[in-house]
Amino acid sequence: MKKGLNFVVTLAVCVVFAGSALATNGMNMIGYSVRSSGMSGADAAADGSFAGVAGNPATMGKLADRGMAIGISLLMPKLNVSNEAMGLDLDGEDQIFPLPYLAYTQRLGSDSPWILGFEAYAQGGMGVEFKNFPTGATTSDKISSNVMFMRFTTAASYQVNEALTLGLAAIGGYAKMDFAMFPESPGGMDVTDLTDIGFAGRFGMQYKVCDRMTLGAVYTSESSLDLSGGNAAIQTGGENAWDYTAVMENFAWPQEAEFGIALQPTSKLLIAVDTKWINWSSTMDVVSLVVGDGTLPPFSDGQGGSTDTMPFQMKWEDQMVYALGIEYAINEMNTVRAGFNYGKSPVPDNYLSPLFPAIVEKHVTLGYGLDLGNLGFDLAYELGLENTQTNNNDNAMVNPFGPGITVSHSQNTIHFETAYSF
């Protein structure tokens, strides 16, 4: 028992300190288990297994009474930033973000209507690094960002009757942000160790209309995150930099509402369709970096004065996400999956920034499951098709990278999971 507890704690620590994910649906991963990812995130109505706690809590544990799943995702973004007027054409650094997760569910008795579950997973984030970004005619420096949000969810579901199941979850989230804008150049900055813990709730339901049709719905509340405790090193020239305390205000993870339908035309074929609303406009509007403990306010206020606050004009829009997933059981051991996920970029062109390029819109997914009785393995591949946006805003306070800045973004993600029921 002690060894098992130590293993769970160790894996949870690994999850907390994993690298951030470069965003898919805005800053969200499209799915939070390998099966869900293989079906493009269409999981609101489909019966779930151990790794269903992060989705609709009413669906968790329906495929096995008790067990655990351990998985990892490797997210590999590809980025390019260009500006024809500047002669800029720069690829982002190759990066691999490891995203482990742990899940456990248990029915409270063989005939009990109650199922309890726990899951630790990467909700999402952003991360970029561009080296040799021109700062003027003859000099260059880097820009980078790293935003991660890890969630720990405890959930319970109750089967009211043969048709209706309700689920409720309490969510604790840990967020961390670092970013740099020309940190070795005069006026540049390197901001590190902004962190906070936020909380949210989730409510879900699943309703079996008949043997071949199931409905699902889930709502997740907003999680406020005032990132604090950070350090901002503001470059003054040469090797000198003023150190300030740093706080990021008005940053939060948005509320969501999702509805899904799962159809079972045959015993071997499952078709799932989901629609999700993500309320980015209420959480990613104007995010402000506020610094203190310095001798002078380091930022321009745009009117010839100085201020201790730097606003990031994000102005993200709400996002509607549509997911179609298909699962086909070849036989008792082998299952294949496929899906397509679409969500229009929440980033308006006139507020696009290479620091936060969460613009991928289309995802194509494939998955495979191997069932060996009590032991199972799942694989999934996720291709985020390239999307390109251009910011022609000539307001330097909103677009410091200049009009004509263009960002292209695509992704490859590999997911692996092993699950054990007992």
DSSP string, 207-222: EEEETTEEEEEEEE--
Q: H or E stretch including 325? A: strand 319-329
pLDDT of residue 226: 84
Q: H-helix or E-strand containing 196?
A: strand 189-210
pLDDT in tens, 311-358: 888 999 999 999 999 999 999 999 999 999 999 999 999 999 988 889
| Alpha helices (H) in 70-190, listed in sequence order | none
User: What pLDDT is attached to residue 238?
Assistant: 59
Q: Is the pLDDT of residue 169 over 50?
A: yes
Distance between CA atoms of residues 88 and 67, nearest Å: 52
User: pLDDT per residue over 99-144, tens digit each?
Assistant: 888 999 999 988 899 999 999 988 877 778 899 888 876 788 898 9
Report in angstroms the alpha-carbon separations of 46 from 73, 166, 201, 261: 22, 14, 21, 8
159, pLDDT greater than 70: yes
State the fold for domain 2-421: Porin (2.40.160)
Instruction: Give 27-81 pLDDT, tens digit per residue.
Output: 899 998 899 999 999 999 999 887 778 889 999 988 888 899 999 999 999 999 9
* Phi and psi, residue 84, nearest 5°: -60, -40
Q: Measured between alpha carbons, how far is 16 from 33 in angstroms, rounded to an integer?
A: 17
Return the beta strands (E) in 66-188 as ranges.
66-83, 88-91, 97-107, 114-134, 140-159, 164-181
Question: Structure pTM?
Answer: 0.90
Q: What is the dihedral of CA 305, 306, 310, 315, to 10 degrees?
A: -10
| pLDDT tens digits for range 200-239 | 999 999 999 999 999 999 999 999 888 999 999 988 765 6
Residue 3 has pLDDT above 60, yes or no: no
Cα(47)–Cα(419) distance, integer angstroms: 16
